[in-house]
Structure 1
Amino acid sequence: MGKSEVAAENRETIVMRLENYSSRAFDAIALRGNAISNDSKVDRPCGASGEMPVLGVNHFWQLEDVDPVHQAQGIARLRNYLDNAGWMSSHDSSPTVVKATNPHDGYVVWAKAIEDLRRLAVQVSSPCYKTSKLSP
């Protein structure tokens, strides 16, 4: 399948992968704080392919009340985990931001330390898929 092609997949499979990667990111960050997540997976439009809509799915969560020194350590642990697992880091990563893509399935993990708010934000995103099962 070329980069311009979009795979057909059901939303349940996509959400299951999102939850798996999100859980791994949480474990890798290994920080204490108030975990804030409404546990929703939000569809994002990517266009259309014939009759089928093309969507991706995002899962966003954050840790609040995290000391800025610990935020940087959590970002470093996540970056190390993703690198060791074979994810491709983006060039826009920094000591307070990590963004990496899984080269095998196109999922993306993004995390940012927001020091002045004592918050670490994380988003896991699926690649775009053709799907006829859009509702959760």
Structure 2
Amino acid sequence: MKFRTAAAAVLALTLLTSCGTTAGSTKDTSLRIATEDQIGNELKQVSAKVQEAFAVKGRTGQSEALNFSDCEDKDADKGARDAIHFWQIDDLAPADLDPAVSRLYKYFEVNGWIGLGQERTADKADLKVWAKNPEKTVAVFAQSFHPMNRIIVQVSSSCFKIPTG
């Protein structure tokens, strides 16, 4: 079950952040230039806004990770990078999980995020939401996870190039 959830999250983020490509759009081959520090700070700022939108109090910091890797988009420039900030909120009341994830979806709508999606998992137990910021530089995937009273979040960057020199 955990593997399916993680695989769905990775697939959703890959589809949302594919170096400027969105459903129904043409390929944007220009990559922004940024350092890993700049991208990491951007992802953490978005994560802070996501956490604020949830409007719940729980334990964070467990299993938080900021990972950089080569951009997997087959059309990306050689040397292009991307990043994922993975984190979670634990120790939440079961009744708070889905309303918190729904508030995040509402935050996306109000703030003009694109590629919005919301659906229940196959077993109907958990709620998933995803969106991409209007600038198409960051995507967010979040899911309630009732078996562990947790919300999992992945904030992902679009592909970028590190400045030379």
TM-score by length of 1: 0.83
Partner of residue 12, structure 2: none
Match of 1:108 among 125, 129, 139: 139
Partner of residue 56, structure 2: 31
Q: Give the unaligned 5+ runs of structure 1.
A: none
Tell me by how many angstroms 1:105 deviates. Answer: 3.4
Q: Letter of the aligned partner of 2:71 in structure 1?
A: C
1: distance between equivalents of 2:153 and 2:63?
Answer: 13
Superposed CA offset, 1:72-120 (max 9, x none): 11001111111111101444x2251110001213200110001111111
The structure where strand makes up a greater share of residues is: 1
Task: Determine if contact 1:44/1:55 at 8 Å carries over to the other structure.
Answer: yes
2: distance between equivalents of 1:16 and 1:76?
Answer: 25
Partner of residue 88, structure 1: 114
Partner of residue 42, structure 1: 67
Tell me by how many angstroms 1:37 deviates. Answer: 4.2
Q: Calculate the aligned-residue CA RMSD, in Å.
A: 2.2
2: distance between equivalents of 1:125 and 1:43?
Answer: 10
Partner of residue 130, structure 1: 161
Counterpart secondary structure, 2:141: strand
Partner of residue 13, structure 2: none
2:85 matches 1:54 = no
Q: Give the unaligned 5+ runs of structure 2.
A: 1-19, 21-26, 121-126
Partner of residue 100, structure 2: 74
TM-score by length of 2: 0.70
Task: Determine if contact 2:36/2:162 at 8 Å carries over to the other structure.
Answer: yes
2: distance between equivalents of 1:38 and 1:129?
Answer: 25
Percent sequence identity is: 25
